[in-house]
Chain A
Amino acid sequence: MKRVVLAKRLIPFFWLLLVAPAGAEEGIPTGGKVDLGIKEYTDVGVKGPVDNPVTSLDEKKTSASTADHSRFKELQGPFNSGPEVTKACLSCHNKAGDQFIHNVHWTWLYTHPVTGQKLGKDVLINNFCTNARGNEGMCAQCHAGFNRTSPDYDLTKQENIDCLVCHESTGTYYKLPPTRGNKACAILFEGKPPIDWVKVAQSVRLPARANCGSCHFYGGGGDNVKHGDLSSVLFHPPRDVDVHMSEQGENFACIVCHVGKGHKWAGSRYNMIAWDEKEKALPEPGMERQTATCESCHGDKPHSRTSIRGFKLNDHVDRVACESCHIPAIARGGVATKVFWDWRTAGRLKNGVGYREEGYIQGNGEPRHTYKSIKGSFKYGENLIPTYRWFNGVMKYTTIDTVFDPSKPVEINHFEGSPSDPKSRIWPFKRMVTWQPYDKGRNTLVYMHLWGDDKDAFWGNYNFARAIRRGMEENGIPYSGEYGFVKTWSWWPQNHMVAPKEKAVQCDECHARNGRLKELKGFYMPGRDTRPWLDWLGLLLVGGTLLGVALHALGRILLGRRKG
């Protein structure tokens, strides 16, 4: 009797033995909290109080604005919608509308000045949620305009500009997905207090971290999912996480570095300044600042110019990006970033409905989902050592029409750079690895129809074949009709979360046989590089001398003794 009970008790363990390895192989941790339905982006927005950062209008950290917007008669309302507020804004700021409609935050389009590629969220495919195009009903929650529900958005209609998302300072303003999506997504719209349009309109000021961060910290489908160096930690970062943005440090707003005039800002990941050379980077007071680079404030000789140590460090700046040493790890401060995404496992159901499962506890103690029916399975990373590569600043993209070889990882974005190119420097990157759908017949990426209240939207129907066919058809892209999954990489240059100097990467971490830069070839680095014959020659020379001396001494001792 007892034996039977014991055997019964052991059954779950046998199950674990059988099931656990299979689960591990597919990268799906089990055992976390499971909840049903689709809940995305319900926890975005500023964490904690709205920050009051230093901006270009501030001197000695108090606002020096010449206007108190709460006293303008134009902003006394009543307002019942965003566009009504925007009309009031534009009635005074009568050039802002024209400025803004040419900005990428609005157009989602970008023509690369070097490669000529047509880029931007409107057309690109990434290896997170893949494509915004056709899914504007959800993704345009982070469009700086109102009611962008499809690719045919009227880019000339200035009243649709969302001034508030960037300028309001109450922390009560929020954006919802422009359309309702599948009924399973209803929860996204629940429990939201109505927006007090007059209050938010009167609160406007220059953008704080709370404004930029409420979208940019949540790229790719959640907190720090995409970039690795942009997370909700940066709303109120400790000094160790970001020496510039920390309230214990400089308390910078994003726009202190991302300088701009007329609603155009410096700093683009499509076309980066891999090395800000002297003529643009003046280290002296009164400098001209047009770029978002470190050099635009710190100059190109940022370390002490009178000490040997500073002299040696300054020797590095033409070859090593500031970020490589001053961002010691990716995803610091307790919020993890996604490092692996597997769309192949998407679409599993419990009781006929989609679900999500917690399987990772990040540094700040909060759980993260390692499986979502709508997206597949994920792996996270925190405090990751970056991948270092030579980089010349020009990003080239695999777009919807790029044909690739699916037997190798497809680079969503790739770049060039080498030690023999004076424009290149060694940069730190986060590399995202994903298995995502592609057109098996034509070897191209695909647009997926994820969001919508229809039978094809993947988020609700969980059918890749229909979601891909619809996504391709809607955009007039040729499709073979057969999809597969391809491994993709995307590269995310790291620029944020600059640590205080005492936390910078130490010399030994690169100048070592198996250091951070061990993968980079084609140049000599002391401490890392040697040649076997060189070390053998040294051993032969020094060891041979020691041996010779030892034998000579031995001879003297032995022969001397015999004589004595």
Chain B
Amino acid sequence: MPIRKVRIFNGFERFWHWTQAALIFVLLFTGFRVHGYHHLISFDQAVYFHVVAALSLITLWIFAIFWHLTTGTWRHYLPTVNGLWPVIRFYAYGVFKGEQHPYRKHFWRKHNPLQAMAYLGLKLFLFPAIWISGLIYLTYNYWQGGVSHPALEWVAIVHLVTAFAILAFVIIHLYMLTMGEGFLHHLKPMITGYDDVELTEAELAYLEQDEPQRLKKS
């Protein structure tokens, strides 16, 4: 089957990824300031930028959800065990022996099964947990009924624990870029949009016929 450079991340997807990445860094930095882990900026500034970044990110998510649903991109994240084991085996064993990554990107499947599951978990659990707890936290005055409600602490705890988990995700996410053919190799598609994809004859024929702009002339 031919391997061709295909645009797999379109403009919106890249904008979404990088804006989200920047906002998550701002949120982690300001959020940990609010909790008192550092004092590099004032509490006042931290709260301000945290709220601005959070509201921006929620807006972005609303667009992203719409985009996932309308373009059918959500299918990329459907969990599967097909090919999962070789990927796990590779990270736990093969990578130390200098083996090749067992997964080849497909046109209809941008992520390897483990990666897809990780992203699905992030999108279905961590992100909703942080933004629902965050909105409850932000609007405490509208539900605590004129008193200082003890539930606020648990809202804050859920928010913070989720933030820790997201930070752990970010660390692993960045580390994964160093696997296989290296950091820049993995980074580049998210900048240019193009990556090497194994195409079936039918897919290649379709792209050449209907979406030639997605194929890079080689």
Could you tell me which A residues sit within 8 Å of B by CB distance?
Answer: 308-309, 312, 315, 318-319, 419-422, 506-508, 511-513, 522-524, 526-531, 534, 537-538, 541-542, 544-546, 549, 552-553, 555-556, 559-560, 563
Contact = CB atoms under 8 A, between A and B. Distances in A.
Interface in B82-129: 91, 95-98
Contact of A511 (B43, B98, B145, B150): B43
Contact of A556 (B52, B96, B156, B164): B96
A523 B164 contact: no
A421 to B, nearest CB: 7
B140 A315 contact: yes
Contact of A506 (B44, B96, B165, B172): B44
B34 interface: yes
A507 B96 contact: no
A312 B153 CA distance: 18
A165 B44 CA distance: 47
Contact of A537 (B36, B44, B164): B164
Nearest to B179: A556
Q: Mostly helix, strand, loop or mixed at chain B's interface? A: helix
Contacts of B171: 542, 545-546, 549
Given A419-B148, A531-B157, A506 B164 contact: no
Contact of A419 (B52, B96, B147, B156): B147
Nearest to A520: B148
B39 to A, nearest CB: 8
Interface in B178-205: 178
B168 interface: yes
B179 to A, nearest CB: 9
Interface string B21-52: 00000000000001110010011100110011
B125 to A, nearest CB: 15
Contacts of B97: 559, 563
8 contacts: A522-B148, A523-B150, A524-B153, A527-B36, A545-B167, A549-B171, A553-B178, A563-B97
Given A318-B141, A559-B96, A308 B48 contact: yes
Contacts, number: 100
Contacts of B153: 524, 529
Nearest to B33: A527
Identify the interface centre among A420, A522, A528: most chain B CB within 10 Å of its CB. Answer: A420
6 A-B pairs with the lowest CB-CB distances in the bound complex, closest first: A422-B146, A523-B148, A419-B148, A524-B153, A545-B168, A507-B43
A544 B150 CA distance: 31
A442 B35 CA distance: 51
B147 A420 contact: yes
B14 to A, nearest CB: 25
Contacts of A530: 35-36
Identify the interface centre among A318, A506, A538: most chain B CB within 10 Å of its CB. Answer: A538
Contacts of B164: 537-538, 541-542
A419 B140 CA distance: 14
A555 B147 CA distance: 54
Contacts of A421: 147
A281 to B, nearest CB: 15
Contacts of A538: 160-161, 164
B185 to A, nearest CB: 16
Contacts of A318: 141, 146
B43 A312 contact: no
A508 B175 CA distance: 35
Interface in B129-162: 140-141, 145-148, 150, 152-153, 156-157, 160-161
Given A524-B150, A537-B164, A545-B168, A555 B42 contact: no
Identify the interface centre among B43, B152, B172: most chain A CB within 10 Å of its CB. Answer: B43
A529 B34 CA distance: 10
A319 B42 contact: no
Nearest to A539: B164
B172 A545 contact: yes
Given A421-B147, A506-B42, A523-B148, A549 B36 contact: no
B47 A507 contact: yes
Given A315-B141, A420-B148, A559-B96, A309 B168 contact: no
Nearest to A524: B153
A541 B165 contact: yes
A559 B164 CA distance: 31
Given A421-B147, A549-B171, A552-B175, 16 more contacts: A308-B48, A308-B51, A315-B141, A420-B147, A506-B44, A524-B148, A526-B47, A527-B43, A531-B157, A534-B161, A545-B168, A545-B172, A546-B171, A556-B95, A556-B96, A563-B98
Contact of A526 (B34, B39, B44, B178): B34
B126 to A, nearest CB: 12
A299 to B, nearest CB: 16
B137 to A, nearest CB: 8
Contact of A524 (B47, B48, B152, B178): B152
Contacts of B39: 508
Contacts of A511: 34, 43
A511 B47 CA distance: 11
Contacts of B172: 545, 549
Contacts of A549: 171-172, 175
Contacts of A419: 147-148
B89 to A, nearest CB: 14
B94 to A, nearest CB: 11
A527 B156 CA distance: 11
A320 B152 CA distance: 17
Nearest to B36: A527
A74 B216 CA distance: 105
A536 to B, nearest CB: 11
A506 B47 CA distance: 13
B51 to A, nearest CB: 5
A561 to B, nearest CB: 11
A558 to B, nearest CB: 9
B46 to A, nearest CB: 9
B142 to A, nearest CB: 9
Interface string B44-74: 1001100110000000000000000000000
Contacts of A527: 34-36, 43
Given A526-B156, A530-B35, A508 B95 contact: no
A146 B156 CA distance: 62
Given A420-B148, A559-B97, A534 B160 contact: yes
